[in-house]
Amino acid sequence: MRQLIWILWPSFVVAGFAEVAFFTLIDPQELYLFGEPTHFSRTATYSIGFFCFWAVCAASSMFTCFIQRSSDEVNRCTIAATCKDRVLTRN
């Protein structure tokens, strides 16, 4: 649960900043999707944009948590029978 909070909270804050910066420069009514103008309301466009930014930022935070794992966490054996086999083959 703690890692989930480490991932979602910072990504939420950064997504808020990213949305403000993006929509300060770009009008939601002038966006095109696959060459066609979008027909969403401004509120819907802001919401979709926020959740997209949040997903990208959460993926970034998740990758950061993934690469911060120690070698013990990466190589830890979680199945008892497999762990016994590893110990026997090493000796």
Every domain of the chain and the residues it spans: 2-90
What is the tens place of the pLDDT at every residue in 24-81? 998 888 888 898 888 889 899 999 999 999 999 999 999 988 888 787 877 777 776 5
pLDDT at 25: 93
Query: 3-state DSSP: the chain helix, strand, coil percent, rounded to 5?
Result: 75, 5, 20
Which residue, 15, 72, 25, is CA-closest to 49? 15
pLDDT at 15: 94
pLDDT at 24: 92
pLDDT at 91 over 70: no
As a whole number of angstroms, the distance between CA 59 and CA 54 comes to: 8
pTM, to two decimals: 0.71
Give buried/exposed letters for 31-56 (b at 16+ CB in 10 A, else e).
Answer: eeeeeeeeeeeeeebeeebbeebbee
